[in-house]
């Protein structure tokens, strides 16, 4: 699911392709989420999982 700024709502979408990019990138860790909580990252709805 992605957030549509145009429609101001969540919409389902299929990933049509992936592009490999190489290099060093700044990343972040979210430490205050519990298993099963949702959040948005880069416009995509994400869900936490634990092992």
pLDDT at 16 over 80: yes
Q: Please give the pLDDT value at position 24.
A: 94
pLDDT at 6: 92
Give CA–CA dist 42/44, Å, rounded. Answer: 6
Residue, of 1 and 16, whose pLDDT is higher: 16
Alpha-carbon Rg for the chain in angstroms: 14
pLDDT at 43: 76
Asked whether the predicted pLDDT for residue 51 surpasses 60, the reply is no
Give the angle subtended at the CA of 27 by the CAs of 51 and 23, to the nearest 5°.
115
Q: What's the average model confidence in pLDDT over 10-36? A: 84
The fraction of the chain above a pLDDT of 90, given in percent, is 25
Which residues contact residue 7 at a Cβ distance below 8 angstroms, ignoring those fewer than 6 apart? none
């Amino acid at each position: 699911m992605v957030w549509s700024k145009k429609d101001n709502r969540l919409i389902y979408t299929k990933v049509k392709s992936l592009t490999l990019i190489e290099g060093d990138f700044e990343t972040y860790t979210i430490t205050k989420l519990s298993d099963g909580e949702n959040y948005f990252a880069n416009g995509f709805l994400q869900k936490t999982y634990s092992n």
